[in-house]
Amino acid sequence: MQAASSESTAVFELKSGRFTLPNLRLFHTNMDQFADQLEKQVNMAPAFFQNTPVVIDLSQLSGQSTDVDFALLVGLMRGQGMIPIGIRGGTQRQQELAELMELAILSEQQKNEPSKPGASKARIDKKPAANASAALKPQNSKLVSQPVRSGQRVYASGGDLVITAQVSSGAEVIADGNIHVYGTLRGRALAGVKGNRNARVFCHNLQAELISIAGQYRVNESLTEDQMNRPVQISLSGKKLEIQPL
């Protein structure tokens, strides 16, 4: 009783939540070039960037100590529908400038990125402009090495989903791109959920409850004996899902 009354008097509670946010990794500060590339990128998937919170990553910025024109940068991003919420990395001076634009300074703790600083630097030297999109994409693919259990959902937003374990019945694996399951697929697999008709599902052993590509689906009942319990790839041709042995 007491607990209930104290709960009803509280206006809010603070809870921590985790979000995966797109990081815009800045390589240099030429804002004309930035505007061009941003426009192209957004035009590829306009809905995806609408009201999307984005973090500006300064860790790979060449000419470390240059001043960043955050007012212009934020303006360009907002103009394309993004909501820049903060920065990560950068020098103290850059962080002070960012704070003037009311951008949050996010911690630089996530060191689990596979790219080594040396390796990425070498790539930047070659072709900085083309590299920007290449550097953004691989981040979106997701690797899962634990079994996906009944009741769990895994979503790879904007990329591929790779699972090196099994997917149990009652679990859901979802991706904007392809789905790879290097174990038995017993749950549901939905590839290309944002409408990518070229997405595919690959699995080591097909026993799925449901498979879907870009909204076209097949349930377990419609799978035939010779398609099940073996490695297959599934693609969309016309309005039909094609299942081919691997």
List residues near other proteins by CB under 8 A: 3, 146-152, 165-166, 168-171, 184, 186
Tokens of 67: 């001043």
Q: Which is nearer to other proteins, 115 or 150 (CB)?
A: 150
Q: Name the residue nearer to other proteins (CB basis): 37 or 152.
A: 152
Least distance (Å) from other proteins to the CB of residue 169?
6
Structure tokens at 194: 């944002």
DSSP state of 190: E
The least distance separating other proteins from the CB of residue 109, rounded to whole angstroms, comes to: 11
Contact yes or no for 120/135 (Cβ under 8 A): yes
Going by C-alpha positions, the residue among 57, 69, 71, 68 that lies closest to residue 26 is 57
- Between 101 and 165, name the residue whose CB sits nearer to other proteins: 165
Cβ–Cβ under 8 Å, residues 194 and 173: no
- Residue 244 parent element (H or E): strand 240-245
Query: Is the CB of 91 or the CB of 168 nearer to other proteins?
Result: 168
- Least Å distance, CB 192 to other proteins, is 25
CB 4, min distance to other proteins, A = 9
